[in-house]
Amino acid sequence: MPEIVILGAGVMGSAMAFPATANRNSVTLVGTHLDRAIIDSVSATGRHPRLGVTMPAGVVALHHDRFASALTERTALVILGVSSAGVDWAIDKLGQDLKRAIPILMITKGLATRGGSIEILPIKVSRGLEERLGFRVPVMAVGGPCIAGELAARRPSSVVFTGGPGTPLEETVHLMATDFYFARPARDLVGVEAAVALKNLFVIGVTSVAGRLEREGRAENDAVMHNLAASLFAESVREIAYLVQTLGGDPLTAYGLPGVGDLYVTSQGGRTALLGRYLGMGLTYRQAREQHLAGITIEAAELAAAVGPTLQAMTQDGRLDAARIPLALAIVDAVISDRPLVTDWQAFHHP
């Protein structure tokens, strides 16, 4: 029986145990230093307190200081489920405990900056591990519309697994795909990862319409603002495609599961959608955080802070055409400059 080790016991990392065990793999769930209460609960009762479900029978839950003991000669895959802010910690942890090139499948979403440019996280992880270990580790990733709670409830979900040359992509799909978790391979690593990360940024724009509707109210005839939301959704996809292409991916990827699909599902709710709503109501980012979202990690805001200045610099030196990303720049400005979110509708109607 193949063994799969999941590093990171948050909702998405833990939800991956459901297709993994359904496909007859042995699963060990290892928490980070932030997951102690989750691991204690799963170990004692089998219940995951944040997912609100009982974990599959046979899942072993361990604290991070026992990660090395979870890695055996039968370990076929490590699923990396830390937050984007925890990637550096994960690189150090993996670099300390990996003794051979066990393939890694990342569900962490985000982008990083390096040398004035933007790179995808699997490349950062791959480079960091090779520097520490002295050998290359295959690093792959998952992209597509997949809400953790639905996956844990075994609701049908469709995703793509992506990896560069030399990664065991088809074998990894075979390890994880089930009759409720539909996975297919895709070799556009940069495109998939850029699209699924960038969609978080654009969800802020799409969901700002809900806040604007609250602020302005329904029309006399009870009309709402579906037209505005659809316009922002379409603009988001167009800008994602352009940014994906600029970063070296296939722009068509933006029109598939990692782009349109993930943008749609993330716009349906969650922390990023809440932030968009509050900005649409006219609050600044700081006001939204202090009044409604204190202590809550919002990866879309972290992404804007991490890569926003680089996006702005790339428009200034000509690597990006500012006229082709007006919504992205408006969202970045709202987050990092703490100004109200202003959408220039005329800017969306350029040739």
pLDDT in tens, 136-188: 999 999 999 999 999 999 999 999 999 999 999 999 999 999 999 999 999 99
Q: CATH code for 3-187?
A: 3.40.50.720
What's the CA gap between 336 and 316, in Å, rounded? 17
Q: And the tokens for 100?
A: 């051979």
Judge whether residue 349 has pLDDT over 90.
no
What's the CA gap between 18 and 39, in Å, rounded? 16
| Count of CB atoms situated within 10 Å of the CB of 166 | 8
Mutual orientation of helices 87-97 and 121-133 as an angle, nearest 10°? 30
Confidence at residue 296, expressed as pLDDT on a 0 to 100 scale = 87
H or E element at residue 89: helix 87-97
φ and ψ at 159, to 5 degrees?
A: -140, 170
Strand partners, 111: 120
The sign one gets for the Cα dihedral 41, 42, 45, 49 is positive
* Phi and psi based region of residue 339 (left: phi greater than 0; alpha: psi -120 to 50; beta: remaining): beta
Q: And the tokens for 282?
A: 């006219």
Q: What is the mean pLDDT of the chain?
A: 95
Confidence at residue 351, expressed as pLDDT on a 0 to 100 scale = 60
- The DSSP-derived string for 16-56 is THHHHHHTT-EEEEE--TT-HHHHHHHHHHSEETTTTEEPP
pTM here is: 0.94
Residue 226 burial by CB count (10 A; 0-12/13-18/19+): exposed, middle or buried?
A: exposed
Give the helix, strand, coil percentages of the chain, each rounded to 5. Answer: 55, 15, 30
pLDDT digits (tens, 9 = 90+) for 302-336: 999 999 999 999 999 999 999 999 999 999 999 99
| Count of CB atoms situated within 10 Å of the CB of 96 | 11
What's the CA gap between 246 and 331, in Å, rounded? 19
Instruction: Specify whether 99 is catalytic.
Output: no
What's the CA gap between 304 and 117, in Å, rounded? 14
Position of tokens 């990342």? 106
Residue 227 burial by CB count (10 A; 0-12/13-18/19+): exposed, middle or buried?
A: exposed
Find the mean pLDDT for residues 274-300: 94
Cα–Cα distance list, 106 to 75, 79, 324 (Å) = 16, 6, 30
Domain ranges across the chain: 3-187, 190-349
Confidence at residue 74, expressed as pLDDT on a 0 to 100 scale = 95
% of the chain with per-residue pLDDT over 90: 94
Q: Residue 134 is which amino acid?
A: G
Cα–Cα distance list, 193 to 119, 123, 171, 204 (Å) = 9, 10, 20, 19
pLDDT digits (tens, 9 = 90+) for 60-99: 999 999 999 999 999 999 999 999 989 999 999 999 999 9
Confidence at residue 347, expressed as pLDDT on a 0 to 100 scale = 80
Catalytic residue among 93, 109, 124, 199: 199
CATH number of this structure's domain 190-349, picked from the four choices 3.40.50.300, 1.10.287.130, 1.10.1040.10, 3.20.20.60: 1.10.1040.10
pLDDT digits (tens, 9 = 90+) for 96-145: 999 999 999 999 999 999 999 999 999 999 999 999 999 999 999 999 99
pLDDT digits (tens, 9 = 90+) for 233-265: 999 999 999 999 999 999 999 999 999 999 999
pLDDT digits (tens, 9 = 90+) for 203-235: 999 999 999 999 999 999 999 999 999 999 999
What's the CA gap between 40 and 81, in Å, rounded? 18
pLDDT digits (tens, 9 = 90+) for 32-57: 999 999 999 999 999 999 999 999 99
Confidence at residue 348, expressed as pLDDT on a 0 to 100 scale = 78
Answer whether 189's CB lies under 8 Å from 250's CB.
no
What's the CA gap between 213 and 210, in Å, rounded? 5
Judge whether residue 350 has pLDDT over 80.
no
